[in-house]
Structure 1
Amino acid sequence: MTRNYSAVRNILLVLVAGSAVLILGDIQLLWRYHASWQPAATQGDKASVHSTANKRTHPIGKLMSVAEVTFQEMISRQSLSVSAAAEDYRARRGRHPPPGFDAWYAYAEEHNAVIVEELFDQIYRDLTPFWGVAPKMMRDFARHFEHHIYVRNGTVDMTRNHGGGTPTDRMEAWLDLVRSVGPFLPDLDLAINLMDESRVIVPWESIDKYVGLEAQTRGLLPLNKVTSQYQSYFAFDNSTEEPPRTTWIGPGEEAFWDTARVGCTPQAAARFKEAATNFAGPPPYPSGYPMHSLDGYVRNWTQARDPCQQPHLQEAHGTFIEPISVSTTHQLVPIFGESKLSMNNDILIPPAAYLSESFSGGLYSDANAQGANWDEKTSGVVWRGVASGGRNREETWTRFHRHRFVSMLNGSYMREIEMSPTAVGEGKAFIMQSYARYHIGALNLGAWLQDIADVGFTDLLCWPGTGQPTCNYTDPYFSIAKKIPMAEQYKYKILPDIDGNSYSGRYLAFLRSTSLPLKATIYSEWHDDRLIPWLHFVPMDNMFVDVYGILEYFLGTKKSKVNENEKTTMKSRDNAAEKIALRGKEWAEKVLRKEDMQIYMLRLLLEYARLCDDNRDSLGFVGDPE
């Protein structure tokens, strides 16, 4: 009997240890890639069954805890000397840093930058494939591109042959940015994209080949084989060679979705999903919780923004329905731009809207009006904007992301839907999700939204244009809302940020404010590695299925009732909302300053200059102090 008890005890110890490992694994996996091939049945099970642990701890609380751990681990890896920074570089990149790395570090240190090597990962995601492209091709393309900035012997200037309608304020902003670090730069030419939309989509198979070629060039050359002198471009300027031929896909040549999906891996759900042709009614919704979520709330921010993993977004985001502008190439050419999709191969730089307070008349920022103290703010959510995102037409507008968002937060419209015996939870531009799935206590959603939400369009941007801010086809559903200056928006606790024609230019201003940014996007920006979701901002699914749960968590539902019947109420986590808002502001003021954009640009351009150099395989920095 003694031996039997001992065996039972050992089994129990193994089970307990195993459970601990599983729990730890679950926490670690919150930030890892969630397999796109997970069976749909598993999603359905997750939608209907919640563990005891999830009942004790709301998923958002769990995600906030993981975010804090992730952040503390990240800042523990700061480089505090040029030698440490160079070693961290070699360990992460597999090669010596570029020449000028010591000057870059000194510049960053002088400007009190947080120097963690992984904060610059976006540079290497962008540039890695170009190790498979000949330096001469890169130089020739940039030198002949219509809009480009050039550096010669430390002097920076730009092409000035802009046609009518060219957004020259963007070029001026980027010219100033490059000039700010010009004394540290070798000769180079930068091809600049002035469109909202990104430009380069190379088939995944080609990118895979280029990345393989880059891997072959990695290695730490012996010190006596490393050179540090970049080429001069003056000899290249005298060349009379024709520019390399680039083929561009223009508007109407094919559905943009078909242009874009070739950039997805063959294993991605979107790769072989042909473009939709019928955009009537609300968009299709995946069953169950989003696969990038923890019980419905975004846990994998990279996947949440990736249309390759979410083919339904081709019918739910204006970018894929009908973008405003299309000029795309399937060739790998070096073009610098503000934002891009997961399948794009553009090179990211800080957006012009973030570089100048006067850009677009100060529309995107108000540096002197970041908001009152948290307790003085209105406990609600505010959003104003135009119905951008693409060309919304009578037969397609119900699939556009901004129309869907405004509809879902329109309290009076939601109340009509709730009261209608025929609506069955379906709006013109969306389909209601199960209240139970997101544990929403505000069963009278319309009344609750009328209490907490002030959202509206300031222009419906009809297509074809009418010269008026309203459209006949949307008049039954939207009216024009009064514009609210940014300074007034900061008086609200929650500020949603939704894609326009591409990224949203107001995001940085929201991060710097004392309000809480609520972010949904399919676009990447230069700073994405610097921001941790659920610590610096609140991420949101692009179908907005989680928006009510998020708002209820942070704002509560104590005002939600209809008639005389009291309904279930939920307390707000006001302190949690304030914590994220202020942590985001504090961190943005450390890593998203204009100085940080200059530091990022200098690092990027040193790497780019090496790639464009005929001797790039031997170029490097090896002058670390002993």
Structure 2
Amino acid sequence: MSPYTPPSAYASTSSSSPPLGNPSSLGSTLGRLLSRKRRKYLGIVLFVGALLAVWDVNLRREAGEWDEGGVATGAGGGLGGKLWGDIDLGKLRSGVFGSGRVVVEDEEDAVVPGGGGLSVDHDHHNPTSHSHPVQSINGRHPVKNGLLYVDLSLPAAKHPIYQLIDDAKKEWDAKVAKQSKTLGEAVKEYGKRNKGRKPPKGFDKWWEYVKTHKVTLPDEFDLIMRDLNPFLAYSPSSLRAHVRKMTGWKDTFTVSIRGGKAEAKQILTLASHLFLRSKNYNPEKIGGSNDRVAGQLAHIEAVAKWIPDMDAVFNIHDTPLSFVSAAHKAELAELVEEGEFFDPEEEADRSFSTWGAACPISSPLHTLHPTLGTDPSSLLPNLTALNVPFTPSKLFTDPSTKSFISSLVQNMDLCNHPDIIPLHGTTSGTKPEPQAELMPIFSLSKTGLHSDITVVPMEQWGEKQSGDVKPFKEKGEKKLLWRGRNTGAFYSNSTPWRSFHRSRLAALAMDNIKESIAVLPAPLSQSEDEQKGSLEKATVMTEEGKLNQRLFDIGLAYEPTQCSTEDGTCEEIIKELPARKSLTFEEENEFQYILDVDGNSWSARYKRLLSTGSLILKSTIFPEWWNDRMQPWLHYVPVKVDYGDLYDIMTFFRGDGVHPGEEHLAQMIADSGNAWSLSSWRKDDMTAYMFRLYLEWARLLALDRRSMDFEYKGEP
């Protein structure tokens, strides 16, 4: 097991580590604004701004909102007031943000709270989402930003999971039906999705591979373009120079293709006994690192002959490296639109230092960072509030807070879901500083706030489950299973470890919790007349410990790891979260329901779990290569990071202990997930992704990018 490496920016500015640089000043920001052809518009903007300011003052004077000394008497006046005046610094320091109501775009008349705002529930000392009064339309629960918000006024027969499963089937069928069937159609679809750009050279060979190996959904590779588009703002020469510099960085390796042959390159140094050893990383300290390198080469051994010469620098660790501000990403996007290149001598905008710095200014998460940027001590109240033993919060006791994930991809957009930040070990209790430049680094995992280039990991992958797969109905254990170590971050008195995703999961599943929580009714528990009543009336309060005994077999396994022995945190973990018996794969496969959650990064066990024939519930914040190629509620069941939906999900499928649940739907999803893993998570499918990624990357590195376009000359 490799040592835990936090997904944070490097502090060193030496040539052997990623550069951090110094935060940009107002002067450097203005310098960027005054450069390039944008400066010709600046005079007009300033002139119009001055006129608007005068007009605003006159209006305020007429309305009595401006005193004779020229001071606005109303709160939040003018442009500056709009951006800053509405922010309650006291609330920000206590961890409350993102409240308010917004119109649901999917359902025009539905109303839900904005952004899934976070609050610290000081009664229970647990972070909770604000309650969300909702209004349905056409008898449907409203959906916003990847979440379905439960409308408790709907009839009890309209359990939200029915809607989620029905919508998932329709969405999947529509996606499958519209996939390209010929090379000409694929070229046309590529142009539609990429602003008219042509595919990269070698696209025809990639298409031939896809069709020969029966790779499904050949149009669904948008994640590649989302990762690579910012690098269009770099000239080929500056991007090449950046890659050359990075090949010497610590804890990296380089996949190099020359003349159709792929190899892993590392800088070697003379070690003891005249042996050569990698200078980039030490495989003895980073367990499995050599296998990680070999796995990436295995992806492309059969297709390297069709990939142009290129170098790709990989992060050897399983945590992300690249974190730049949204302002810088917006600047790069603007340069791409203008057909200009970023000056590598300039420094990226780094005005703020929080997770919100990676988000657009209009997003809920971004609104947190003005306070944190000026007052780092504002993190302390959250640290105190979050790092206390678990008790049920409003997420579990207040039925008006209930929601479910409808789109995992949208839910992993942390800019729109700031409530996730303090609930996951990767983001909780940290205050990252944006880096001075965008790094072309290929990584095994990242969050939506990072800018690493996503690749396909090979860890724990197998074509299919070893041994016989027991059918869902024949599995003897009907509880939800999870076992794992206390990974996810470093556990100490200086970190809010009790709020981390794995420790919270183990804590909420304890059998001795006496408080009662609100649970939606089992779908088959009401008479015909009762089903006409509201979901709110049908919701029942049940003692959490008893629910845990009936529904869950969840707990940490083994001795604590990644924790401080010096301050006693390891001992606290042992006392508060005693380890449960570890299970063999054979014992694990006896469970009908298995939960998969993140560790230090993505979960390497997910593929194997899908192949068990069990229903897999998944909670994650890490986008992966398969996200656009799988369908939640059809191949697996998504679970929120706060776990506020877990009891309702299990009650829906398992029943309430007296009345049955929809076990046949659980079996259908389990079977679909297993079938998908066998048909669409093969070595061929992973190769298709990496093949396409490398074709795009090789074009970005080409000195003449247009010469690396694929020219289609066949029938449309």
What TM-score do the two structures reach when normalised by structure 1?
A: 0.76
Instruction: Please tell me whether residue 339 in structure 1 is matched to residue 445 in structure 2.
Output: yes
Q: 1:56 aligns with which of 157, 180, 187?
A: 157
Q: 1:209 to 1:124 in 2, by over 3 A?
A: same
Equivalence map 1:215-614=2 (5 Å): 215-216=337-338, 258-273=353-368, 274=372, 276-277=379-380, 278-279=383-384, 280-281=387-388, 296-321=403-428, 329-353=435-459, 356-357=461-462, 367-369=465-467, 371-377=469-475, 378-394=477-493, 396-410=496-510, 412-414=511-513, 417-418=514-515, 441=540, 443-462=542-561, 464-466=563-565, 471-558=570-657, 569-614=658-703
The question of 1:187 aligning with 2:309 is answered yes
Render the CA deviation track for 1:305-357: whole Å, top value 9, x for unaligned: 2332233333221112368x999734212111112111111111111315x54
Tell me if 1:163 matches 2:291: no
Q: Identify if the C-alpha distance between structure 1 residues 492 and 456 changes in structure 2 by more than 3 Å, giving closer, same or farther.
A: same
Shift, 1:168, TM fit:
2.1
Could you say which residue in structure 2 is the equivalent of 1:97?
199
Contact 1:143–1:190 (8 Å) recurs in 2: no
**What is the RMSD computed on CA atoms of the aligned residues?**
3.7
Per the alignment, do residues 193 and 546 of structure 1 end up closer, same or farther by CA in structure 2, a change over 3 Å counting? same
Shift of 1:267: 1.3
Decide whether aligned partners of structure 1 residues 294 and 99 sit closer, same or farther in structure 2, where only a CA change above 3 A counts: farther
Superposed CA deviations along residues 107-151 of structure 1, whole A, max 9, x for unmatched, are: 11111112431x101111111111111222222222332421101
Segments of 5+ residues of structure 1 without an aligned counterpart are: 1-24, 219-243, 249-253, 358-364, 419-424, 426-431, 559-568
- Whether the 8 Å CA contact 2:464–2:611 is kept in 1: the answer is no
Kept in 1, the 8 Å contact 2:232–2:336? The answer is yes
- Per-residue CA deviation, residues 440-464 of structure 1 (Å, 9 max, x unaligned), is 6572432332233212212353554
Q: Distance in 1 between matches of 2:113 and 2:241?
A: 41
Q: Structure 1: which amino acid aligns with 2:237?
A: K
Match of 1:16 in 2: none
C-alpha separation in 2, matches of 1:209 and 1:463? 39
In 1, are the aligned partners of 2:589 and 2:612 still within 8 Å (CA)? yes
CA distance in 2 between partners of 1:604 and 1:516 (Å): 31
Distance in 2 of aligned mates of 1:386 and 1:587? 28
SS at match of 1:276: helix
Distance (whole Å) between structure 2 residues aligned to residue 34 and residue 624 of structure 1: 50
For the residues of structure 1 that align with 2:379 and 2:304, how far apart are their CA atoms? 47
In the alignment, what sits opposite 2:184? 83
How far apart are 1:484 and its partner, in Å? 1.1
In 2, the alpha carbon distance for the partners of 1:294 and 1:603 equals 42
Q: Give the distance between the partners of 2:113 and 2:243, measured in 1 at CA.
A: 38
Cα distance change on mapping 1:379 and 1:308 into 2, 3 Å? same
Partner of 1:5: none
2:424 partner amino acid = H
How many Å apart are 1:36 and its aligned residue? Answer: 3.8
**What are the residue-to-residue correspondences of 1:1-12 with 2, within 5 Å?**
none
Change (3 A) 1:108 1:35: farther
Asked if the contact 2:364/2:418 (under 8 Å) is kept, the reply is yes
User: How many Å apart are 1:154 and its aligned residue?
Assistant: 1.0
- Aligned mates of 1:327, 1:369 — CA distance in 2: 48
C-alpha contact 2:395 2:402 (8 A) present in aligned 1: no
- Which residue of structure 2 lines up, in the alignment, with residue 19 of structure 1? none
Q: 1:322 to 1:149 in 2, by over 3 A?
A: farther
Letter in 2 for 1:490: N
> CA deviation digits over 1:354-405, x for unaligned, max 9?
5x54xxxxxxx97314730111112121111100000112463211110111
1:42-75 residue CA offsets vs partner (Å, 9 max, x unmatched): 814578962335x222100111000000001000
Alignment correspondent of 1:228: none
Per mean C-alpha deviation after superposition, the further-off stretch among 70-79 and 478-487 is 478-487
- Shift in CA distance, 104/212, structure 1 to aligned 2, threshold 3 Å: same
What residue number does 1:561 align with?
Answer: none
CA 619–213 in structure 1, closer or farther in 2 if over 3 Å, else same: farther
Tell whether the 8 Å contact from 1:386 to 1:459 is kept in structure 2 after alignment.
Answer: yes
Residues 444 and 285 (structure 1 numbering): CA distance in 2 closer, same or farther, change over 3 Å?
Answer: closer
Distance 1:435 1:575, change over 3 A: closer
Measured in 2, the distance between the counterparts of 1:285 and 1:246 equals: 49
* CA distance 1:38–1:444, shift in 2 (3 Å): closer
Deviation larger for 162-171 or 509-518: 162-171
**Conservation of the 8 A alpha-carbon contact between 2:150 and 2:403:** no
Aligned residues between the structures: 530
CA contact (8 A) 1:126 1:347 kept: yes
Give the conservation status (yes or no) of the 8 Å contact 2:403–2:645: yes
How far apart are the structure 1 equivalents of 2:105 and 2:281? 54
Does the residue aligned with 2:686 lie in a helix, a strand or coil? helix
Deviates more, 1:148-157 or 1:299-308: 299-308
Q: 1:126 aligns with which of 221, 227, 238?
A: 227
TM superposition score normalised by structure 2 = 0.67
Letter matched to residue 332 of structure 2: Y
Is the CA contact 1:460–1:470 (under 8 Å) kept in the aligned structure 2? no
Q: Equivalent residue for 1:203?
A: 325
Q: What is the DSSP-based 3-state SS (H/G/I as helix, E as strand, rest coil) of the residue aligned with 2:301? A: helix
| Contact 1:43 1:288 survives alignment (8 Å) | no
Give the AA of the match of 1:170: R
> What amino acid maps onto 1:402 in structure 2?
R
Change (3 A) 1:56 1:557: closer
Aligned-partner Cα distance in 2 for 1:205–1:512 = 42
Deviation of 1:78 after TM superposition, in Å, equals: 2.0
CA distance in 1, matches of 2:192, 2:640: 35
- CA drift of 1:623 comes to 3.0
Which consecutive residues of structure 2, in runs of 5 or more, have no partner in the other structure? Answer: 1-102, 118-128, 136-148, 267-277, 373-377, 522-534
CA distance in 2, matches of 1:48, 1:36: 15
